[in-house]
Structure 1
Amino acid sequence: MTKTTNDTRNDQGADERGVTVLVTSATGKTGRRVAERLTARGATVRAGSRSGATRFDWEAPETWGPALRGADAAYVAYYPDLAAPGGVEAMETFGRLAAEHGVRRLTVLSGRGEPEAVVAEEALRAAAVGVELTVVRAAFFAQNFSEGLLAEGVAEGAVVFPAGDTAEPFIDVDDLADVVVETLLTDGHAGLVHELTGPRPIGFAEVAAEIGRASGRPVVYEPVSQADYAEILTGFGLPAPEAQWLAALFGTLLDGHNSSATDGVKRVLGREPRSFVAFADATWASGRS
């Protein structure tokens, strides 16, 4: 671990090369980026996944201890979401195992404005006795439109979602990954909660318009009810209970209580977060006709 935060980047190399970090859900949107950045900073990365060299499966607790053994730190990205059923119990077990295996630092990905996720955060904190814990609460990912469930609809020209006219300060996952890496490799974040958003809230209709502008093809926003969205998700193959839970979660998160932006990215990284406009330009500009 290093001595301080951003002001000693030039002195960090030797310390960071000696750090072993377990990255859970390492093939996901955040885990993949966190692993890449940790490697670039010289840390030894254990990329935890169901089929990789470091086997880690959130549905198989017997894989957690072996993956944690000998690690100095871990990035905890619980699938499908920290607020999901089973999240509290998973965090209790994972936190206990992390403490038993001598892990010194944990950073957990949480959802902004999710009361159930806070309960899981506290379960992890209570179980991981003697371990430094940092919580990163993220807004809705910008990359959900390019890599997630919404990507297929975007490719077909429509953002179909149960958000009404609510605005959301979308966070670029690259910014999130940069923050996570700082909390894992530098001191000063233990016990803190970093709420991460983009620079300003925008509505889903504006999101569609920006994607259309950047890609050079029409993209529209089609608001739907939670029930209709759950049916759409089941059509993609999700089990009905999971689809209904996910649709209800989106409805809860996008009721307006998360519409304000924060300065979380700037406080950790010393720079402004990337805007959705910049994200759209970087993601879809190559598709312009």
Structure 2
Amino acid sequence: MTTTTSTLVLTGTGKIGGRVLRGLGAAGAPARSGSRSGHPPFDWDDEDTWTPALEGINSVYIAYYPDLAVPGAAEVVENFTETAVAAGAQRLVLLSGRGEPEAERSEQVVQKSGVEWTILRSSWFSQNFSESFMADSLRTGTLTLPVGDVLEPFVDADDLADIAVAALTEDGHAGELYEVTGPRLMSFADAVAAISEATGRDFRYFTTTSADYASLLAAAGLAPDAIGLLTYLFEDVLDGRNAYLTDGVERALGRAPKDFTDYARAAAAAGVWKEG
């Protein structure tokens, strides 16, 4: 059974949020972007924007910026969740991260909200190679990260968005924690090799230390907080703890997850990694 809801999509301009908005639109489900450029605007750092953005909203896709791993994120998510429920939200879908203790604190907040909830505990996005700072590096022909042979089950952003849309618009997903992965384990070097094959270019992958990587990011002008978050994710979370597959996509959507090779071919066909 499909229900009609009015949905607030937080980080509606982000990799997953934008896809969720488009998916809801395609499903004919009314939705509002929760972003600083939204109408009305939403800002995680300004609680005065929360209630206006929640007016008339029945369900919320929650994605915290910059990341649920940052200190204090769970407290902010708890304050927002209480505000959303008080405003009338009856269904919450949280985008979380695998292997992140801080993220699991936010999961617990949503699970205790008293309304319907669904958790999407996600692996590293395939689209991080094409829709983040890594794309600029790859266009030069190389990618350098502080990650060695650790295996990661890269997950397609479209799969995550499809699950979120289903959880927001359909019955049968309440109370589910979907741990979401792609269909196989790959190293970052494997991923770059797949991009090379898809593009016909000879991309090279190099590893470095966390300290040297932080210096590279600082030289590129990234803020200290952003550098700290990235080095934490690469050094701590990408330590092998997530090197296993799960059936989250199959359970949620009844189909297999998309493979990284298919993603790389589509992104290459779109010209994402062409030399500037």
Letter in 2 for 1:95: T
1:129-140 alignment to 2 at 5 Å? 130-140=114-124
Q: In the alignment, residue 249 of structure 1 is paired with which amino acid?
A: L
* Alignment partner of 1:102 is 2:88: yes
Q: Hey, what does 1:79 align to over in structure 2? A: 65
**Matched residue, 1:146:** 130
The question of 1:184 aligning with 2:168 is answered yes
Q: Deviations over 1:111-132 (max 9, x none)?
A: 0111111012213333x2x211
**Number of residue equivalences:** 273
Q: Is residue 52 from structure 1 mapped to residue 38 from structure 2 by the alignment?
A: yes
- 8 Å contact 2:149–2:188 — kept in the other structure? yes
Q: Distance in 1 between matches of 2:167 and 2:192?
A: 33
Q: 2: CA distance between counterparts of 1:73 and 1:131?
A: 10
- 1:1-289 equivalences under 5 Å are 3=1, 12=2, 15-16=3-4, 19-126=5-112, 128=113, 130-287=114-271
Deviation at 1:234, TM superposition (A): 2.1
**RMSD, aligned CA:** 1.5
Most deviating of 234-243 and 192-201: 234-243
Q: What are the Cα deviations for residues 36-78 of structure 1, in whole angstroms up to 9, with x where unaligned?
A: 0001101111111102223111111111111112101000010
Distance 1:92 1:267 in 2: 28
Task: Give me the whole-angstrom Cα distance separating, in 1, the residues matched to 2:71 and 2:223.
Answer: 14
What percent of counterpart residues are identical? 47
**Contact 1:83–1:120 at 8 Å: present in 2 too?**
no
Aligned partner of residue 268 in structure 2, secondary structure: helix
Normalised to the residue count of structure 1, the TM-score between the two structures is: 0.90
C-alpha displacement of 1:159:
1.9
SS at match of 1:150: helix
Amino acid paired to 1:232: L
Structure 2: distance between partners of 1:64 and 1:227 = 38
Whole-angstrom CA distance in 1 between matches of 2:135 and 2:174 = 35
**Separation in structure 2 between the aligned mates of residue 196 and residue 107 of structure 1, nearest angstrom:** 14
TM-score by length of 2: 0.95
How far apart are residue 175 of structure 1 and its match? 0.7
Q: Which structure 1 segments of 5+ residues have no match?
A: 4-11
The CA deviation at 1:273 is 0.7
How far off is 1:286 after superposition?
A: 4.9
| Secondary structure at 1:168 match in 2 | coil
| Structure 2, gaps ≥5 residues long | none
The AA in structure 1 aligned to 2:8 is L
Q: Provide the C-alpha distance between the structure 2 equivalents of 1:241 and 1:278, rounded to a whole number of angstroms.
A: 34
**In structure 2, what is the equivalent of residue 7 of structure 1?**
none
1:139 touches 1:169 (CA, 8 Å); kept in 2?
Answer: yes
**2:90 and 2:221 mapped to 1: Cα distance?**
39
Mapped partners of 1:244, 1:82: distance in 2: 14
Change (3 A) 1:39 1:221: same
> Shift of residue 86 of structure 1?
2.2
